[in-house]
């Protein structure tokens, strides 16, 4: 286990910040292990993205714009990743902990007969072994796992847990050969966007989340969106809000939704059930607005303001906008 491979998640060549975080982490690990840092980019737009990745501290960028990658579910991705992993030999594969990343991780681990560490927030090399730190049991325990040396290891990494470090190290750009003898069956007929712009919820520096306290879909648009915009962040939600159909499930934060680690998390009209906290408790600063002083979110928040969200949010948005205008 010497080289480190980053799986690059993207949509038509547009990638997410987590890719650059993984590139920086791959460099650090590869240096500690005495190996090389690779990236694998597949699908339409891969060539342009491979160029862009040259601004990050990698050694080899493997890419393919094979249209099968976008036409069929998962398997082509896994095939290309497997092809690169096999050409490199026992290595560490870093995958973002996103919906797609989790799917890829289980599959590539089975193909390579590798160990799998999930939702990792810290990585260390000790005595030549890669150690993975991850919160478990709904955040109540932090575990450190080590891979057996000499095997492949697959790691899903939490977005925002690491910092990007853009730097060109003259990475070589290579095309990957199509693995032979593959035929694909699960066809993607259509791809529907329900929440454009939410691609970056996991990596937004600020998340303004709303819960059942918002009472309906409109306040997400009229109250939360302007506040999120003013703070340079994204809107999220509790499961109660998604279940009610007020927002798409893609905005849901928590155990069954997205796990976010922004610098600032604002919980508006959210009680803070354990399943919700799992998705946001590692945020840098947590502020809650709730009319009930005894809500569980109070145990996780840094500041709990007790009052009516319909009064507080617009006033807060105005204050932030005013401060920004004064600064500009």
Ligand X SMILES: Cc1cc2nc3c(=O)[nH]c(=O)nc-3n(C[C@H](O)[C@H](O)[C@H](O)COP(=O)(O)OP(=O)(O)OC[C@H]3O[C@@H](n4cnc5c(N)ncnc54)[C@H](O)[C@@H]3O)c2cc1C
Residues 215-274 close enough to bind ligand X by CB under 6 A: 238-241, 252-257, 269-271, 273
Considering only residues 280 to 299 of the shown chain, the ones binding ligand X according to CB under 6 A are 289-292, 295
| Residue 300 is a binding residue for ligand X (CB under 6 A) | no
Partner in contact with 36, chosen from ligand X, another protein, none, beta carbon below 5 to 8 Å by kind:
none
* Residue 73 interacts with which of ligand X, another protein, none, CB < 5 to 8 Å by class: another protein
Q: With beta carbons less than 8 A apart as the criterion, state whether 149 and 107 touch.
A: no
250 binds another protein (CB under 8 A): yes
Using CB under 8 A, pick the residue from 14, 34, 89, 136 that binds another protein.
136
Q: Does 73 bind another protein (CB under 8 A)?
A: yes
For residue 183, the SS3 value is coil
Interface residue with another protein among 47, 100, 173, 174 (CB under 8 A) is 100
We find the least distance from the C-beta atom of residue 152 to another protein, in angstroms, to be 8
Backbone angles phi, psi at 130, to 5 degrees: -85, 125
Nearest residue (CB) to ligand X, 116 versus 289:
289
| Selection from 230, 226, 251, 225 nearest residue 239 by Cα | 251
In order, the DSSP letters of 48-115 are: HHHHHHTTSS-SEEEEE--THHHHBSSHHHHHHHHHHHHHH-SEEEEEESSHHHHHHHHHHHHHHT-E
The radius of gyration computed from the CA coordinates of the chain, to the nearest angstrom, equals 21
Residue 291 CA to residue 313 CA, distance in Å, equals: 13
Q: Which residues contact 326 (CB under 8 A, 6 or more apart)?
A: none
Partner touching 6 among another protein, ligand X, none, CB below 5 to 8 Å by kind: none
Enumerate residues 208-247 that contact another protein by CB under 8 A.
231, 239, 243
| Residue count, binding to another protein (CB under 8 A) | 96
Helix (H) or strand (E) holding 313: helix 309-327
Pick the piece of the chain touching ligand X (CB under 6 A) from 30-38, 107-115, 131-139, 205-213.
205-213
- Min separation Cβ 256 and ligand X, Å: 4
Beta carbon of residue 259, minimum distance to ligand X (angstroms, whole number): 9
């Amino acid at each position: 286990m010497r080289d480190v491979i980053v799986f690059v998640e993207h949509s038509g060549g547009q990638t997410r910040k987590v890719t650059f975080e993984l590139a920086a982490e791959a460099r650090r690990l590869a240096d500690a292990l005495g190996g090389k840092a690779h990236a694998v980019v597949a699908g339409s737009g891969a060539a342009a993205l491979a160029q862009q990745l040259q601004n990050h501290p990698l050694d080899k960028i493997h890419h393919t714009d094979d249209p099968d990658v976008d036409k069929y579910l998962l398997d082509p991705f896994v095939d290309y990743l497997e092809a690169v992993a096999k050409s490199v030999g026992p290595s560490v594969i870093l995958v973002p902990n996103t919906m797609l990343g989790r799917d890829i991780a289980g599959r590539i681990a089975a193909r390579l007969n590798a160990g799998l560490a999930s939702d990792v927030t810290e990585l260390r090399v000790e005595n030549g072994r890669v150690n993975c730190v991850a919160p478990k049991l709904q955040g109540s325990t932090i575990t450190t796992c080590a891979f057996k040396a000499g095997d492949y290891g697959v790691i899903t990494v939490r977005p925002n847990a690491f910092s990007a470090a853009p730097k060109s190290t003259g990475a070589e750009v290579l095309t990957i050969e199509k693995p032979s003898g593959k035929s694909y069956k699960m066809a993607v007929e259509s791809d529907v966007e329900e929440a454009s712009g939410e691609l970056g919820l996991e990596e937004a520096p600020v998340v303004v989340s709303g819960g059942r306290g918002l009472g309906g879909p409109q306040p997400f648009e009229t109250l939360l969106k302007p506040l999120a915009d003013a703070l340079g962040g994204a809107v999220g939600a509790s499961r109660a809000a998604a279940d009610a159909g007020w927002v798409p499930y893609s905005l849901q934060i928590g155990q069954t939704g997205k796990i976010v680690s922004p610098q600032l998390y604002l919980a508006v009209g959210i009680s803070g059930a354990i399943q919700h906290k799992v998705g946001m408790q590692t945020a840098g600063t947590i502020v809650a607005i709730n009319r009930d002083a005894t809500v569980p979110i109070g145990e996780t928040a840094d500041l709990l303001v007790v009052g009516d969200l319909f009064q507080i949010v617009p006033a807060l948005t105005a204050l932030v906008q005013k401060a920004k205008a004064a600064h500009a």
